């Protein structure tokens, strides 16, 4: 297409078809990556931070996917997070809520 010419309906339709194909490829690639990430987290051979970095997704996104898929955090991470959490900012313990 020449920059001086107005786009034809065929040009627009062709660009729309290319975008649709790209969208379908992106969805398929996303599902494949999600399956690989979840399999790696279940397997436990790689640290979650390594899996997250390799995926290109944020840690929050990977964590949310994992929890949705029923993958719970390793107890060592939970204990570490509890130790690092400032007093009074964490969830109430069962002793505090049974008053």
The dihedral region occupied by 19, where left means phi > 0, alpha psi between -120 and 50, and beta the remainder, is alpha
User: What is the reported pLDDT for 2?
Assistant: 54
What percent of the chain is modeled with pLDDT above 90?
A: 66
User: What is the reported pLDDT for 80?
Assistant: 78
Residue 14 pLDDT > 50:
yes
**Is the Cβ–Cβ distance between 41 and 48 less than 8 Å?**
yes
Q: Measuring CA to CA, which residue among 78, 80, 72, 64 is closest to residue 42?
A: 72
Residue 99 pLDDT > 50:
no
Residue 21 pLDDT > 90:
yes
At residue 93 the predicted structure's pLDDT band, cuts being 50, 70 and 90, is: low
User: Model-level pTM?
Assistant: 0.69
């Amino acid at each position: 297409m020449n920059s001086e010419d107005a786009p034809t309906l065929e040009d627009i339709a062709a660009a729309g078809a290319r975008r649709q194909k790209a969208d379908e490829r992106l969805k398929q690639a996303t599902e494949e990556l999600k399956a690989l990430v979840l399999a790696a987290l279940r397997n436990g051979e790689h640290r979650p931070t390594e899996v997250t970095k390799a995926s290109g997704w944020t840690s929050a996104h990977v964590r949310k996917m994992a929890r949705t898929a029923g993958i719970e955090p390793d107890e060592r991470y939970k204990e570490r997070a509890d130790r690092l959490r400032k007093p009074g900012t964490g969830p109430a313990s069962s002793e505090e809520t049974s008053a």
